[in-house]
């Protein structure tokens, strides 16, 4: 296993300095997957949550979970899924105000160009008399994924932990999965975008990066972050705590600040899955847009014109439609 | 008529031996169109698929329309020539080879268009190495390759007698390599009763086979769309609907080819009004079927419409209204009128109708593919026009033109290799026996 040298930007922190060269075993405490090898990413932000790790010197020590990073797993490894896990996402529509921090963090984390969004924020209004609401939409990581069924080369696959990934080394770019997905989740690299070059690490389907021209990609539930006990970029970036991420079997979801019992949350707040009628069995649940903290129009505030223009064609009436 | 007493090859050999100035101009013109298409293809390879009008919502555009279209006309031969052969239809002789040529040439061009949709042509071999049988694309790969193979055999069996005659025709003024090629390709066929028996049997089997394969191929093609959950595609009728649309477009292309070759090679004595009316009647019957399937499909979508079907129908009647009217009204009703009413039933009228039907059927595929992709379940919320609505770019149009040019070129070359009308056992049609008129 290669030890990746990270630039230590905080020389005062002796513990971190000590760790930067050392391999740490046992970072799996938080992710429940036994012994794994991790290293410290000094550029990352601390979450305040400590995990116990075992250094190569045989010492047990506590480090901030936010700083732990794993080398990207290989393509073969990425097929398996994280043992004993079944991931789920809950999105609270009552709290979303189209701040778009989820989109930005996701694009930055996955080195995506402006035109590729793994998570999109829609402005929906189901019918004329119903209330409009903001609708963040990642990949639903369906349990009955049509995109996986139709792929002619097995480039997209469903793992034991519920995550649907794409291997862009295998993908031939036929785009059948894009027509197969009823949620317009997948994006295509219509050319080589300069952002792809920003990522210097080797490609892994778990990171969905670096992207590749002529292949399909999409939201991946950030398994590379999940492996070190972090929640996906979108969930941790949301200032309103709209996006909860967690595990169905552990029955826990968290948005980084608050943690809920998944089943209780869905029960109490009448959680539902989008377009249940299609039979795709999504792993993303929505909490209806009730008890709203923001007016829907506040989603247009401080947005540049390009974003506002997107919602021009939204059907029905929104009071202060852009 | 004096023609009847001559060896038909005396009449047809010049077609193979000489190419007129106009013929060369035509070939050069086609090569230029193909050249422009090739340049467009290089643009797409080097600059990426961004040079096309396709974007994340409309991921398949004119390319897939051309793919369906060419695969469709390829059934002219498979179903029409196969059926005519099996039923031993008396008038089939002068048109059957054209139908077989259409089949094989269109079948070679069609799949090229699906390749243009593929983002990573360098990984195309993965379709074989990592092919998954669950995917309708794999079904398609298997079905199309079987079809190409089967149709090649069928065509070869049916030209074998003519190749043997060309080999034996001593007056033939062709370079030696061509004569040697005929010698090799004739497989030693001399027309002994045993050979005749075997050849007839093999042709019968292949005729039945190509009909079955053609139905499978086109159904599989339809299932690529209908297995998805997209509004407008997720339809049980799509398999048979595509098969009917395919044969329908094939019959129209056959009429156009008959008209062109009749003019170019002066085949007025062989291809008569009777043939136009006969194929015209086939086209009429298929038009009726096609209209019925179209009506049935849209009626059920419209009458008890789900929200997204409703949005799709609205789109079809607003933004795509003239395409919809042209393909699903004009394209259905015109053959019924022109071929159905005896007074209107002239060679010119039938040919013009056939041209319109070909265009209508191309547009029919366009309004099957594009409007559905423009009306997904989640609304397209975009500020960029090219992401909101699909419109094909010059790259796609050039490659479309190149596809048509390759079709014409291969047809021209094929007609220089074997006679466009089977000469073996050929009889000049007597004009009086026009029973259908």
Report pLDDT digits (tens) over A265-307.
Answer: 999 999 999 999 999 999 999 999 998 888 888 888 888 888 8
Phi-psi region of A229 (alpha: psi -120 to 50; beta: other; left: phi over 0): left
Nearest CA-CA partner of B301 in B375, B366, B249: B375
Per-residue pLDDT, A320: 54
Please state the domain count of chain B. Answer: 1
Q: What was the pLDDT predicted at B425?
A: 65
Q: What is the DSSP string of A45-87?
A: PP-S-EEEEEETTS-EEEEEGGGEE-PPPPHHHHTT--TT--E
Q: Is residue B328 part of a domain?
A: yes
Q: What is the pLDDT of residue A38?
A: 62
- Provide the number of CB pairs (under 8 Å) joining chain A to chain B: 138
Shortest distance between the Cα of A295 and any Cα of chain B, in A, equals 20
B418 occurs within a structural domain: no
* pLDDT(A317) > 80: no
* Percentage of residues of chain B with pLDDT beyond 70: 95
In a domain, B139, yes or no: yes
Q: Residue B362: inside a domain, yes or no?
A: yes
Confidence band (pLDDT; 50, 70, 90) for A21?
very low
Taking CB atoms and an 8 Å cutoff, what residues of chain A touch B311?
Answer: none
B124 in any annotated domain: yes
CB contact under 8 A, B137 and A176: yes
Containing domain of residue B280, as a range?
52-379
C-alpha gyration radius of chain B: 23
Give the C-alpha separation, B238 to B166, whole Å. 44
Does A29 score more than 60 pLDDT? no
- Please check whether residue B314 touches A, CB under 8 A: no
Q: B115 CB near a chain A CB, below 8 Å?
A: no
CB contact under 8 A, B228 and A170: no
Kindly state whether residue B236 falls inside one of the protein's structural domains.
yes
**Residue B268 domain-assigned?**
yes
pLDDT per residue over B212-248, tens digit each?
A: 998 999 999 999 999 999 989 999 999 999 999 999 9
CA dihedral B92, B98, B103, B105 (to 10 degrees): 170
Contacts of B346 (CB under 8 A, 6+ apart): B273
Partners of A134 in beta bridges: A123
**Residues A199-235, buried b or exposed e (16+ Cβ, 10 A)?**
eeeebbbbbbbbbbbbbbbbbbbbbbbbbbbbbbbbb
* Nearest residue of chain B to residue A278 (CA atoms): B229
Is residue B103 within 8 Å of residue B74, measured between CB atoms? yes
pTM (2 decimals)? 0.88
Cβ of B228 under 8 Å from any chain A Cβ? yes
In the stretch 41-80 of chain B, residues with CB closer than 8 A to chain A read: 47-50, 54-57, 59-60
CATH code, B370 = 1.20.1630.10
Which pLDDT score is estimated for A66?
65
Query: Cβ separation of A190 and B135 shorter than 8 Å?
Result: no
Which of A171, A187, A306 minimises the CB distance to B56?
A187
Q: Domain residue spans in chain A?
A: 14-69, 76-287
Report pLDDT for B388: 86
CATH architecture for segment(s) A76-287: 2-Layer Sandwich (3.30)
Q: Which of A124, A149, A179 sits opposite B59 (nearest CB)?
A: A179
Residues 372-401 of B with CB under 8 A from A: 373, 376-383, 387-388
The ipTM estimated for the assembled molecules is 0.89
Domain assignment present for B291: yes
């Amino acid at each position: 296993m290669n030890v990746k040298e990270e630039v230590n930007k905080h020389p005062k922190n002796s513990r971190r300095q000590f760790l930067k060269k050392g391999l740490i075993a046992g970072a799996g405490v938080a992710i429940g997957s036994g012994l794994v090898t991790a290293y410290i990413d000094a550029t990352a932000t601390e979450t305040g949550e400590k995990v116990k790790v075992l250094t190569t010197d045989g010492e047990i020590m506590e480090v901030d979970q936010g700083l732990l990073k794993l080398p990207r797993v290989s393509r073969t490894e990425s097929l398996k899924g994280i043992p004993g896990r079944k991931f789920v996402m809950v999105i609270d529509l009552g709290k979303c105000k189209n701040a778009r921090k989820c989109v930005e963090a996701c694009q930055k984390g996955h080195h995506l160009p402006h035109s590729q969004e793994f998570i999109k924020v829609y402005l929906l209004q189901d019918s004329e008399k119903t209330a409009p609401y903001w609708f963040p939409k990642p990949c639903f990581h369906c349990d009955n994924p049509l995109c996986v069924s139709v792929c002619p080369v097995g480039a997209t696959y469903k793992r034991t932990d519920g995550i649907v990934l794409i291997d862009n080394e295998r993908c031939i770019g036929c785009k059948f999965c894009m027509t197969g997905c009823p949620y317009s989740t997948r994006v295509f690299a219509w050319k080589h975008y300069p952002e792809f070059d920003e990522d210097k690490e080797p490609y892994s389907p778990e990171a969905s990066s670096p992207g590749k021209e002529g292949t399909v990609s999409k939201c991946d539930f950030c398994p590379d972050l999940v492996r070190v006990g972090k929640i996906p970029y979108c969930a941790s970036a949301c200032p309103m705590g709209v996006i909860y991420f967690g595990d169905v079997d552990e029955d826990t979801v968290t948005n980084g600040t608050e943690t809920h019992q998944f089943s209780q949350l869905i029960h109490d707040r009448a959680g539902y899955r989008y377009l249940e009628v299609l039979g795709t069995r999504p792993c993303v649940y929505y909490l209806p847009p009730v008890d709203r903290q923001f007016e829907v129009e506040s989603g247009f505030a401080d947005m540049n014109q390009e974003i506002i223009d997107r919602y021009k064609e939204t059907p029905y009436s929104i009071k202060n439609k852009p | 008529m004096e023609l009847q007493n001559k060896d038909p090859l005396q009449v047809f050999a010049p077609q193979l031996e000489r190419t007129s100035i106009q013929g060369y101009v035509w070939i050069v013109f086609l090569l230029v169109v193909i050249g422009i298409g090739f340049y467009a293809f290089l643009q797409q390879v080097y600059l990426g698929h961004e040079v096309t009008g396709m974007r994340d919502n409309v991921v398949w555009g004119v390319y897939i329309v051309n793919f369906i279209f060419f695969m469709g006309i390829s059934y002219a031969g498979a179903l029409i020539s196969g059926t005519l052969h099996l039923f031993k239809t008396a008038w089939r002789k002068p048109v059957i080879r054209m139908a077989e040529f259409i089949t094989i040439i269109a079948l070679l061009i069609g799949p090229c268009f699906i390749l243009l949709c593929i983002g990573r042509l360098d990984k195309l071999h993965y379709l074989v190495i990592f092919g998954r049988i669950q995917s309708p694309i794999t079904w398609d790969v298997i079905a199309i390759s079987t079809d190409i193979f089967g149709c090649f055999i069928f065509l070869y069996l049916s030209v074998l007698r003519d190749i043997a005659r060309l080999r034996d025709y001593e007056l033939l003024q062709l370079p030696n390599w061509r004569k040697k090629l005929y010698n090799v390709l004739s497989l030693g066929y001399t027309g002994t009763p045993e050979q005749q028996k075997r050849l007839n049997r093999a042709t019968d089997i292949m005729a039945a086979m190509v009909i079955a394969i053609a139905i499978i191929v086109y159904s599989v093609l339809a299932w690529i769309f209908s297995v998805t959950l997209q509004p407008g595609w997720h339809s049980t009728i799509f398999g048979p609907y595509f098969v009917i649309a395919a044969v329908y477009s094939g019959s129209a292309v056959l009429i156009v080819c008959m008209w062109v070759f009749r003019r170019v090679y002066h085949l007025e004595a062989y291809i008569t009004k009777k043939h136009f009316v006969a194929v015209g009647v086939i086209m009429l019957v298929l038009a009726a079927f096609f209209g019925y399937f179209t009506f049935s499909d849209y009626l059920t979508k419209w009458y008890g419409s789900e929200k997204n079907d409703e949005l799709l129908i609205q789109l079809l009647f607003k933004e795509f209204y003239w395409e919809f009217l042209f393909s699903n009204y004009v394209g259905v009703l015109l053959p019924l009128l022109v071929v159905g009413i005896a007074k209107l039933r002239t060679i010119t009228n039938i040919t013009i109708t056939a041209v319109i039907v070909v265009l209508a059927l191309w547009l029919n595929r366009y309004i099957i593919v594009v409007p559905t992709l423009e009306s997904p379940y989640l609304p397209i919320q975009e500020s960029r026009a090219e992401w909101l609505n699909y419109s094909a770019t010059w790259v796609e149009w050039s490659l479309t033109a190149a596809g048509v040019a390759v079709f014409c070129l291969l047809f021209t070359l094929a007609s220089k290799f074997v006679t466009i009308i089977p000469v073996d056992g050929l009889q000049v049609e007597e004009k009086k026996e026009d029973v259908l008129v």
